A and B are shown apart, each in its own frame.
Chain A
Amino acid sequence: MSRRSSPLNTVIIAAVAAAVGALLTAAASTLSGQGQIAAYRAPRTADGKPDLNGIWQAVNEANFDLEMHMARPAMALRPGPYGPLPAAPVLAWGAVGAVPPGTGVVDGGAIPYTPEALARKKDNHEHWLERDPEIKCYLPGVPRATYMPYPFQILQSASAFFIAYEYAGATRNIYLKDPGRPPVDAWMGQSVGRWEGDTFVVDATGFNESSWFDRSGNFHSDALHVVERYTRAAPDVLSYEATIEDRNVFTRPWKISMPLYRRLEKNAQLMDFKCAEFVEELLYGQWRKAPLK
């Protein structure tokens, strides 16, 4: 199989070799950490990591109810002559107050509560108006902050990974070096991040027991442990998974997953959503000098 090696042949062979080399390099990068060949290789930051910078938002009904569910008349219900009806305090909202249907984000369908915890979840659901921390504009916790229906921004540099959420101005600084045990409990917990191949893995602990997972009473204790996985799946899509475990509430760890979409508008930016101001009448109105009628 001899052939004369002309200069042109050499150039063509070199070009093909380069292309093959490039393909192999790209495939190798996306193979690592996922155990499968992903179609997309994300652009890198200057320090060689997939670039997760940008403004992202979930598009689903997870904040209403993590599990697959039919549409419901309202988030607060009362018995009616032919089935549940919106409770009096939310009646005037009409269809705006309805719970839309959702195909669910829980792997396996159902959240694996212990029997006592399931009873408490149902009780929470029935007392949504008094108990859902979202109503009082309390910090949303993790992972609820991710799928609140508002944008959040990832700011990623070589030395930092920070997430700013539009809702209630919630923030999470993801430590790239583990600072050790969280000294006290926090609404947004303490997060430590690391790269596994092209996936940014965040390990979050140090939560208080006060946040909920959604508007349906799904809850946790201060033993909550969340492991999140952020992977760029396409130019404008982040693949997001969160594994949740809490020995006081669930029989085993369980997982949610969903795509997060980039806000592509030219003028996309986080704006003020300081809702604490908006709930002052709800929380303190009765103690005005002249309470409103």
Chain B
Amino acid sequence: MKLRHLLASAGFVVAAAAPASAHHAFGGEFDPSRPILLKGKVTKIEWVNPHAWIHVEVSKPDGTKEVWMIEGGSPNSLLRRGVTKETLLVGTEVVVDGYQARDHTTRANGRNVTFTDGRKLFLGSSGTGAPLDGSDPTEPSRGQR
């Protein structure tokens, strides 16, 4: 299954390499019976740990507006790829799919967070697999600085 394959690459499938005690149980925070698809404007980004939160204002069918908090990962890896608080601007249109919080508040996990054309947010120059293991004694292992 393609999705499982993708998730395997993300480390979500518990392979031998996965941590014994997981980061936290997404299944405990979000509800698989409540899928969501949101389209709206970014109103705020909280660049915080343990999760970044992207606030998205969506228009409901009745015309009123509602703000959803979308949970992301830790911002630190993004910062190392050159992302800053100016990278994602307030007002940017995004599309989010995921599952609503189990406490039924307007929060969801950002299973996929993309621009309206489907491009994924925050794609940095992470490279395509040159080993970064310090095996070259003259080069530190990584870093674009």
Question: Is the beta-carbon distance between B79 and A179 smaller than 8 angstroms?
Answer: no
| Complex interface residues of chain B between 77 and 95 (CB less than 8 A to chain A) | 79, 83-85
Interface residues on B, range: under 10
Tell me the complex Cα distance, A181–B83, Å: 12
Collect the chain A residues with CB atoms within 8 Å of residue B83's CB.
183
Collect the chain A residues with CB atoms within 8 Å of residue B145's CB.
179
When C-beta atoms are compared, the residue in chain B nearest to A182 turns out to be B84
- B105-145 near A? 1/0 per residue, CB < 8 Å: 00000000000000000000000000000000000000001
B73 lies within 8 A of chain A by Cβ:
no
A184 lies within 8 A of chain B by Cβ:
yes
Tell me the complex Cα distance, A200–B118, Å: 50
Output the least CB separation between A257 and chain B (Å).
33
Output the least CB separation between A23 and chain B (Å).
45
- A171-190 near B? 1/0 per residue, CB < 8 Å: 00000000101011100000
Tell me the complex Cα distance, A276–B85, Å: 27
When C-beta atoms are compared, the residue in chain A nearest to B82 turns out to be A183
Output the least CB separation between B88 and chain A (Å).
11
| Complex interface residues of chain B between 59 and 101 (CB less than 8 A to chain A) | 75, 79, 83-85
Collect the chain B residues with CB atoms within 8 Å of residue A179's CB.
145
Tell me the complex Cα distance, A123–B55, Å: 28
Question: What 9 pairs across the A-B complex have the smallest Cβ distances?
Answer: A183-B84, A184-B47, A183-B79, A184-B85, A184-B75, A184-B79, A183-B85, A184-B84, A183-B83
- Sample of 6 A–B contacts (CB below 8 Å): A181-B84, A183-B84, A184-B75, A184-B84, A184-B85, A185-B47
Residues on B lying within 8 angstroms of A by beta carbon are 47, 75, 79, 83-85, 145
